[in-house]
Each structure stands twice: as structure tokens, then as C-alpha cells.
Amino acid sequence: MSYTKTKIALNQLVADLVQGHTVLHQIHWYMRGEGFLFYHPKLDKYMDILSEQLDTVSERLITIDGSPYSTLKEFAEHTKIEDRSGQWNTSISEDMHRVSTVIRQLVEDYQQGVDAASEEGDAASEDVCTGYLRDLQKVLWMLQAEIGKAPEIER
């Protein structure tokens, strides 16, 4: 089986996981204000989570005979996550909204991975995506609660 749709979905995850990690790292570096001592190490944890997921998703893609994006050009061309310059004048609240936006995109990507893998009968890729979907939905719920919103997880 070629798993064409699954490979596309996993490669989208590769691009967005790299970009998402970069955005979180940028926020981590530029963060200032009340809550810094709490959020700065929290972003380290989130970056570690995305790094682990990137490795697993990329290796799964290789396992099903795919070729993960691996250049900055490919990541930039394929990511759905906004790229912008770091700013010193954002509030912690604005930063957390941006982190929430990154995680929300990854949740959407993982759902697309689940759907594609399910349709193509790739139970292992579906399992990988389902587990990470669950994990990031929980992160999204917590981030949304922190900024005073409901999780707003659609399906």
C-alpha cells in the first residue's frame, strides 16, 4: 500500500512541528513580564514535547517509505504556522495566545493524520497521530483555560 494521504499528512506535521518549535523558542527568548518565571520553563517543556513528536512522526514517515521535509526552505514552504519577527513588546497574555494558536494548528494536523491513516488502513500511523492528538488537546485545553477561554476543540 502506498499510504499517499498519510504521507502528505505526516509531512505537514513535520513542517508544522518544526515551525511550531521555532515559534515557541522565539516566544521563550523574547518573553518579558509578569508570569515569566512560570512560562519560561513551561515553554521548555512544550518545546521538548514537539521535538519528541517531530522525531517520532518523521521516523514513522520514513517507515512507510516517505521522505520527511528536512530543509529550512521546505519547512517554510509547507508550514501553516505564521512566521514573524520576535518582539519585545508583547505581553505574556499575547504570547500565550500565540502558543495556543500553534498548538491548535498541530491538533488540526494530527486530526488530519488520524483521518488519512484510518482511510488508508495504516493503523500504526493512526495510533501515533491519535496519541499525540490526545496529548496536544490536553495542552490546548490548559492553555485556553489560562487565557480564560474554553478549549474550543472542534470535530
CB 104 within 8 A of CB 141: no
- Identify the H or E element spanning 52: helix 36-63
Type of residue found at 117: A
CB 23 within 8 A of CB 98: yes
CATH numbers and ranges of domains, the chain:
4-147 (1.20.1260.10)
Q: How far apart are CA 73 and CA 141, in angstroms?
A: 32
pLDDT in tens, 51-78: 999 999 999 999 999 999 999 999 999 9
Q: How far apart are CA 91 and CA 87, in angstroms?
A: 10
pLDDT in tens, 80-116: 999 999 999 999 999 999 999 999 999 999 999 999 9
pLDDT in tens, 133-144: 999 999 999 999
Q: How far apart are CA 46 and CA 17, in angstroms?
A: 11
All 3 cell numbers of residue 92? 505574556
pTM of this prediction?
A: 0.95
Distance linking the first and last C-alpha atoms of the chain: 28
Type of residue found at 110: Y
Which residue is listed with cell 489560562? 146
45, 51, 53, 57: CA torsion to nearest 10: 170
